[in-house]
Amino acid sequence: MTADPQPGRRRRTRLYALTDGRTAASRRGLTMDTVITATADADHGHGSLPTEWREILTMCAPPGGRAVAEIAARMRMRLTPMVLLLGELLERGLIRHRPPLDASETSNVHLLMKIRDNLARL
Amino acid sequence: MPDYDTAAPEASPVKILIAGGFGVGKTTLVEAVSEIDPLRTEERLTSAGVGVDDLDGIEGKTATTVAMDFGRITLTDANVVLYLFGTPGQERFWFMWDDLLSGALGAIVLVDTRRLDRSFPAIDFFESRGLPFVVGANCFNGEQPYTTEEIKAALHLRDPDTPVLLLDARSREDVRGCLLSLLDRLITQARVTAPA
């Protein structure tokens, strides 16, 4: 067993560095289609936050917000590390999350008709 | 205490999956209707389960990186943001990925009639999981030698009412037609399940 240093590979920021050492505890409820919005609290003290965090908060400015998958893609991170990182931001109250509609909502005829009508006008 | 905001409620995310074999035009289809250039997201899946840390440099574990291209459509009147996720080509890993199906409204299975077999895994998967879908037969070079009936028969669809549409994945109008067909199917199904 040799541990090749792989000199050609770009060094990546390790996950624990981005998430302050936390892992699985934070990831509950954040799926790839969950929408993340920065909170008002995030406006203060931005300067002291890590660069990656600031980039995410800027990207997810209210009212729109961005889906987890979109943030991951734009930050060039895989989904799982991004979910962990977002879990950290969530715990610190810097972001809010809006889960995708559940089955009872997505089987609602009125909502489906609204989606259909809206799509038809695109 | 709920907060009653005077502002319009934030749009809720919903997703539709775009499945089909490699090279069938999934990303092209997403691009045709998305309000943003398609983005790519990746996930690392391993035989030990999903959600593990990076395994770079560790040999002997079955791990693969799956990629999905996706786009979005903001539907202001319906107050939803519709995400269209192109599913990764390695169907054998889908079952390990709960996030993929959970909360999906339905799917479009894109097929290339020259390589029909490549769409079987997606169809089998959605049929077994009960996710409603429609089939879009991509007409490469504007041509489609088969009729929708012939395609339907060749696909051995479990539900004979599954719509099969001919489309050009580059055409916004065609793709929209396919999405509308899926929505019609969902509406019909919702009416049956919960009559008003």
Q: Do A115 and B80 touch (CB under 8 A)?
A: yes
Q: Do A15 and B40 touch (CB under 8 A)?
A: no
Distance from B187 to chain A by nearest Cα, in Å? 6
Domain B12-191: give its CATH architecture: 3-Layer(aba) Sandwich (3.40)
Query: Confidence class of residue B175 from pLDDT cuts 50, 70 and 90?
Result: very high
| Structural domain that includes position A92 | 15-120
Percent of chain B with pLDDT over 70: 84
Is-contact A118 B180, C-beta < 8 A? no
The neighbouring-strand residues paired with B50 are B45
Q: Is residue A116 domain-resident?
A: yes
**Higher pLDDT pick, B78 / A20:** B78
Q: Is residue A4 domain-resident?
A: no
Q: Do A118 and B193 touch (CB under 8 A)?
A: no
Q: Is residue A6 domain-resident?
A: no
Touching check for A8 and chain B: CB below 8 Å? Answer: no
**Per-residue pLDDT tens over the stretch B4-50:** 444 556 789 999 999 998 889 999 999 999 999 999 999 887 755 44
Query: Confidence class of residue A1 from pLDDT cuts 50, 70 and 90?
Result: very low
Q: Where are the domains of chain B?
A: 12-191
Q: Do B10 and A78 touch (CB under 8 A)?
A: no
Question: Cα(A92)–Cα(A101) distance, rounded to whole angstroms?
Answer: 25
Q: Is the pTM of this model over 0.90?
A: no
Q: Is residue A10 domain-resident?
A: no
| ipTM > 0.90, yes or no | no
**Per-residue pLDDT tens over the stretch B68-111:** 999 999 999 999 999 999 988 777 777 667 678 888 999 999 99
Taking CA atoms, A13 is separated from A50, A52, A88, B63, in Å, by 12, 11, 16, 21
Touching check for B187 and chain A: CB below 8 Å? Answer: yes
Looking at residue A59, its pLDDT comes to 94
> Given B52, B75, B83, which is nearest A119 (Cβ)?
B75
